[in-house]
Amino acid sequence: KSPRSRAALAMLLLVTVVSGLQPAIYRPHCNSWHGAHVAPVLMGVRDQQISRRATLGGFAAAALSVAPAWAKADDPYSLKKDYPTDAKNMLINMRAATDLTRGAPDMEKIVKSTRSEMNDFVAFYRRQPKVSGMPSFSTLYTAINTLSGHYASYGNKYPVPEKRRTRLNQQYKEIERALARGK
């Protein structure tokens, strides 16, 4: 599905949920609750009544719980929550961002996506003691800080200078060796 159709589907679900979950409106001038006269929808067992609001809420929760799976299924910049896989993908994306030259097509988009992935990666894995103590993580963390610092200082359109690129490529090789050993 295209991003536009996903956005339309999400908006439709949001409108459905909001309209179904709105509280009854009190009208003080006529001393009544608007919506209080509506009979509940019967769903299932005869004596058990489930309101429309509960039915719509359940449907919306089920539909929205599937939405993140649609959004991240084919995104190379999203975390899979598996350290070796995420570290290898992070390394591939960082290499691509490091090797970009001035005027490269989609440079700004690639750099923004990589920076976002770097932030997510560090935020997720630095809290996990088993991962944060690994040599591959500490070297990757250093490389992330170097690349992130470059783009924070110079912006997303300025390529990595040769001296910094050489140092990052050395760190990338160290990270690959450590990941190959499972460390």
**What's residue 183's pLDDT?**
86
**What's residue 75's pLDDT?**
79
Segment 167-175 long-range contacts (CB within 8 Å, at least 24 positions apart): 168/94, 168/98, 168/143, 169/95, 169/98, 171/139, 171/140, 171/142, 171/143, 171/146, 172/91, 172/94, 172/95, 172/98, 172/143, 174/139, 175/87, 175/91, 175/136, 175/139, 175/140, 175/143
Q: What's the mean per-residue pLDDT of the chain?
A: 78
Contact yes or no for 94/58 (Cβ under 8 A):
no
Contact yes or no for 57/17 (Cβ under 8 A):
yes
Query: What are 90-130's pLDDT values in tens digits?
Result: 999 999 999 999 888 889 999 999 999 999 999 999 999 99
Report the amino acid identity of residue 70.
W
Query: What are 17-39's pLDDT values in tens digits?
Result: 555 555 555 455 555 555 555 55
Rounded Cα gap, residues 49 and 15, in angstroms: 24
**What's residue 154's pLDDT?**
92
- pLDDT of residue 70 exceeding 80, the answer is no
76 pLDDT tier (thresholds 50, 70, 90): confident
Task: State mean pLDDT over 148-176.
Answer: 94
